[in-house]
Amino acid sequence: MHAKIYFTEFASPIGRLRLTGDGAAITGVFMESERHDSIQARGAVRDAAPLREAQRQLEEYFAGERREFSLELAAAGTDFQRQVWQALREIPYGVTASYGDIAKRIRNPNAVRAVGLANGRNPISIIVPCHRVIGANGSLTGYGGGLERKSFLLALEKRVVAQ
């Protein structure tokens, strides 16, 4: 038997966000028109109450008042993907890293392409900051939510750090 999944949606500076969770942990943060949409939200129950704290923390993040999230997370993925997603959480606020940096961090320096694929499958955007991963040459590379959103998030963090 599967745990019940809850979801809610709310407006943010980068468009509507959909949060999903199982009542104990956040399982997804999805943007409108994201390539990898929340498959698990099908059959989910609309209920904001179990997701209120996550929404509050995301709103604080967008207001420039929060740099770190303190939420229980439960992202569905392979062991390798979860290893990459954990490494993403270690990238400091306002800092960027390359796919190669992440591959080295997980002690698998030849896995740059696999790191890129795992980064792209991150179901908990923003909280697991896949937007902080850029190309080795410093360029903005693909982002499930679109490059304009990635650019917005990086600019927000840069502005807050500069204050």
The tens place of each residue's pLDDT in the chain, 163 residues long, gives: 467 899 999 999 999 999 999 999 999 999 986 545 554 556 789 999 999 999 999 999 999 999 999 999 999 999 999 999 999 999 999 999 999 999 999 999 999 999 999 999 999 999 999 999 998 888 887 777 788 999 999 999 999 999 8
From residue 71, alpha-carbon distances to 14, 92, 163 in Å are 21, 17, 26
For the annotated catalytic residues, the residue numbers are 130
pTM as predicted = 0.90
* Confidence (pLDDT) at 129: 97
Q: Which two tokens stand for residue 145?
A: 């939510």
- Beta bridge partners of residue 26, listed in sequence order: 21, 73
* 145 closest CA partner among 55, 13, 47: 13
Q: How many CA atoms lie within 13 A of 33 on its CB side?
A: 8
